């Protein structure tokens, strides 16, 4: 263990400030890595470059080792740099995008996938991942919904905590573990109109109730870093927001780790119209507890003068530097600055059969069967298969922000089916573009010809993988190009259509849902996506995913989400899709989602037979057991995600009409009947009131199971 206080005592003020600055690796060595933000000439001096404390965006471990070696040669104090990267859903072996991972409702699966990513990323030279992203989301127009696990705070919290524990392990000195940075604090997912970087304007009650808990869960799980968001929240940039950064993060939650700005965010205050003075920017964010500035020069150019003029003391700077040095020490960088990074571009740890097996299982368990009239699973004796659509033989199905993942290393749907059914006759036709504005029908003829004599038509459609992610907001959530028109043309010649949809978000399927006999939503499934698709289509895997974010009927419904509150002039859920004058509804579209949160079919037939409570009344010191009896009334084993909902019928703040309070994913043998048990404690019934108190109130609670908007079993529980 290094004596970081002794190291600190030998540093100049300029060198200390360098530890609080992060830039792209290309500032140190030539880099082939892409840049994930604004690319500009920062004008750094050699002395500043030599004192940099951390870098991001590097191509591989060889480049990392070269940069670290050069830095150590030039840094008088021989303090290793931290190397950070966005390892969002895998490093080289890619698993489904996080929104898809959320659809598994399986924190253990999230853990397993993250362990694969941690080991590969460490071999690739990564010390810190900017993961997990646990922003609460309700608007599918926002491109970054793909990076979070869904529209429910409990789901996000459990999946995020699992990722933190998996990446970091029990000991950060173990080179198979890397540190995590939870993001984006706070409420980035509430961007107005789903437009990236836009303002967020929400009540404190909504902030505490829905947006903050997942960040807190990750902090409780031990995350070493936190990244504040780009956006303003209630008129103040997150980095400048004392309520967020000091009152909540530091005082209430006691976070003592490293806080890092997002890319160029410290220099964005002028753009926001908040300040036009970079020295003031430095004062505000450092005072608020920001330890590292990413990819702008506000700290380098202003922190020293703030010490010299007495605004801060050098001891204030020391505290931030010690947090950075402590993280380096915990990672073992002072003992080994290269920390297990391979000396090869293609490390032996990458793309192993074991890793591929994990991500293949993830792709299978994250896929959501949205519709099935009995056509699935397809028979392996199927002779003629028409494989149609722009994603039928397309390797770009790994998803946006796949780190070092390479599309050429992925399995296409065609390859997956061909391997499973080597003797089947498979005819492939692209048919149509999936690019917005490219509406040509030139490929229709070949597609129609392929479909005409086929036993089944598998149509692989959706949005390009780079249509979701940072800066990829969409105003229209229908499938781009001429895909919808192609589906309708194919139906004219063959009604045995299975839609295999790919997207990094929920997409609008209302106009084509009736044209297909089955719809299987794959999200963006990762390296083994084509293998998983084939296994699911032909019954070697049984779908078990549930919708993690509601699929709207129309983009105009957005934001649409399950845990909404009731309104004045309300309608019952049974009437939500019927227009009634002087009620809260649309005149041209129903209120409900096309496929709501928690919805998902299986090849097994799970029959929910009963819901029983151990008692119908409880005090604040009691616990109540909920027993839900489920029968797998089929000859297929499968997994069912059992969801437990609550509704607080009357409270001092209007409560959601349905609210997830627990869930379990349970395996059932064919024909098996079992009771799934949950325990309700008083704290599960609490909410944040308008006085910022986390309370429960006496009264009636409805305890239910099913999926959102279809709660099939309900019992009443009274809190005394």
Q: Containing H/E element for 327?
A: helix 314-330
* Distance from the first to the final alpha carbon of the chain: 54
Please list, in sequence order, all residues whose beta carbon lies within 8 angstroms of the beta carbon of residue 602, skipping any fewer than 6 positions away.
369, 542, 543, 544, 638, 639, 640
Four-point Cα dihedral 365, 371, 374, 375, nearest 10:
-80
CB 182 within 8 A of CB 132: yes
Candidates 658, 655, 677; CA nearest to 666 is 677
What is the Cα–Cα distance from 463 to 451, expressed in whole angstroms?
A: 22
Q: Per-residue b/e over 370-391, b at no fewer than 16 CB within 10 Å? A: bbbeebbbbeeebeebbbbbbb
Q: Return the residue matching tokens 């997409």.
A: 507
As beta bridge partners, residue 700 has 718
- Which residue, 314, 467, 320, is CA-closest to 390? 467
- CA pair distance 170, 192, nearest whole angstrom: 39
Asked if 59 contacts 31 with a C-beta cutoff of 8 angstroms, the reply is yes
CA distance 429 to 426: 10
8 Å CB contact between 300 and 51: no
Strands 694-695 and 687-688: antiparallel
CA distance 370 to 517: 10
Closest C-alpha to 655, from 626, 631, 686, 698: 686
Count of other CB atoms within 10 angstroms of residue 689? 16
Q: How far apart are CA 426 and CA 409, in angstroms?
A: 22
Q: Where are the beta strands (DSSP E) in 266-424?
A: 293-294, 368-372, 384-388
Angle between helices 298-308 and 278-287 (to 10 degrees): 80
DSSP E strand boundaries for 195-296 = 225-228, 232-233, 236-237, 258-259, 293-294
- Name the β-bridge partners of 114: none
Exposure string for 90-116, b = 16+ CB within 10 A, e = fewer: bbbbbbbbbbbbbbbbbbebbbbbbbb
Reference 638, options 364, 375, 379; nearest CA is 364
Q: In 3-state terms, what secondary structure has residue 593?
A: coil
Pairing of strands 699-707, 710-719: antiparallel
Known catalytic membership, residue 511: no
β 258-259/384-388 pair status: unpaired
- Catalytic residue, from 106, 152, 262, 329: name it: 262
Half-sphere exposure at residue 210, Cβ-oriented, CA atoms within 13 angstroms: 23
Positions marked catalytic: 262
């Amino acid at each position: 263990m290094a004596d970081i206080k002794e190291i600190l005592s030998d540093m100049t003020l300029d060198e200390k400030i360098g530890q609080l600055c992060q830039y792209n690796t290309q500032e140190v060595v030539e880099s082939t890595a892409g840049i994930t933000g604004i690319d500009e000439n920062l004008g750094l001096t050699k002395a500043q470059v030599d004192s940099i404390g951390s870098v991001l965006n590097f191509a591989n471990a060889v480049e990392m080792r070269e940069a670290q070696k050069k830095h150590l040669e030039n840094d008088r104090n021989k303090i290793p740099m931290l190397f950070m990267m966005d390892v969002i859903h895998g490093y080289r072996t890619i698993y489904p995008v996080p929104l898809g991972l959320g659809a598994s409702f399986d924190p253990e699966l999230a853990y397993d996938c993250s362990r694969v990513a941690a080991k590969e990323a460490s071999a690739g030279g990564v010390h810190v991942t900017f993961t997990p992203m646990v922003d609460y989301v309700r608007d599918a127009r926002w491109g970054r919904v793909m990076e979070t696990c869904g529209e429910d705070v409990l789901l996000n919290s459990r999946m995020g905590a699992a990722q933190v524990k998996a990446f970091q392990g029990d000991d950060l000195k173990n080179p198979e573990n890397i540190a995590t940075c939870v993001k984006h604090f706070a409420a980035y997912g509430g961007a107005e109109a789903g437009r990236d970087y836009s303002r967020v304007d929400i009540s404190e009650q909504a902030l505490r109730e829905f947006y903050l808990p997942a960040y807190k869960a990750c902090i409780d799980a031990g995350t070493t870093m936190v990244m504040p968001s780009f956006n303003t929240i209630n008129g103040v940039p997150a980095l400048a927001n004392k309520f967020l950064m000091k009152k909540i993060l530091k005082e209430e939650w006691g976070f003592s780790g490293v806080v890092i700005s997002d890319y160029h965010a410290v220099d964005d205050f002028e753009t926001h119209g908040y300040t036009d003075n970079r020295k003031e920017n430095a004062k505000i964010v450092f005072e608020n507890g920001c330890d590292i500035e990413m990819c702008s020069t506000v700290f380098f150019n202003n922190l020293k003068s703030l010490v010299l003029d007495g605004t801060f003391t050098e001891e204030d700077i020391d505290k931030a530097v010690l947090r950075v040095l402590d993280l380096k020490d915990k990672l073992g960088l002072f003992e080994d600055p290269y920390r297990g990074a391979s000396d090869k571009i293609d490390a032996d740890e990458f793309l192993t059969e074991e890793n591929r097996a994990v991500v293949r299982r993830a792709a299978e368990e994250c896929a959501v069967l949205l519709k099935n009239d009995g056509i699935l699973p397809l028979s392996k004796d199927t002779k003629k298969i028409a494989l149609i659509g722009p994603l039928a033989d397309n390797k770009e199905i790994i998803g946006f922000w796949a780190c070092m993942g390479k599309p050429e290393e992925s399995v296409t749907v065609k390859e997956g089916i061909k391997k499973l059914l080597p003797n089947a006759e498979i005819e492939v036709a692209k048919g149509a573009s999936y690019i917005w504005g490219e509406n040509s029908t030139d490929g229709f003829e070949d597609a129609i010809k392929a479909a005409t004599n086929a036993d089944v038509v598998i149509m692989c459609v959706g949005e390009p993988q780079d249509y979701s992610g940072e800066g990829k907001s969409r105003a229209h959530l229908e499938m781009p190009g001429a895909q919808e028109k192609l589906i309708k043309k194919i139906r004219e010649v063959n009604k045995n259509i299975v839609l295999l949809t790919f997207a990094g978000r929920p997409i609008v399927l209302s106009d084509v849902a009736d044209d297909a006999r089955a719809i299987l939503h794959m999200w963006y499934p990762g390296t083994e996506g084509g293998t998983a698709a084939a296994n699911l289509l032909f019954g070697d895997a049984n779908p078990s995913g549930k919708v993690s974010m509601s699929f709207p009927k129309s983009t105009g419904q957005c934001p649409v989400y399950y845990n909404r509150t009731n309104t004045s002039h309300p309608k019952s859920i049974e009437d939500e899709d019927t227009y009634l004058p002087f009620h809260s509804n649309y005149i041209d579209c129903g209120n409900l989602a096309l496929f709501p949160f928690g919805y998902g079919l299986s090849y097994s037939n799970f029959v929910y037979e009963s819901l029983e409570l151990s008692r119908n009344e409880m005090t604040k010191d009691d616990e109540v057991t909920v027993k839900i009896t489920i029968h797998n009334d089929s000859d297929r084993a499968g997994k069912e995600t059992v969801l437990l909902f609550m509704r607080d019928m009357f409270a001092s703040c209007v409560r959601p009409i349905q609210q997830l309070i627990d869930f379990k994913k349970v395996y059932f043998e064919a024909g098996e009947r079992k009771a799934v048990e949950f325990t309700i404690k008083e704290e599960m019934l609490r909410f944040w009131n308008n006085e910022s108190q986390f309370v429960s109130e006496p009264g009636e609670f409805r305890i239910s199971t099913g999926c959102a908007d279809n709660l099939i079993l309900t019992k009443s529980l009274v809190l005394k």
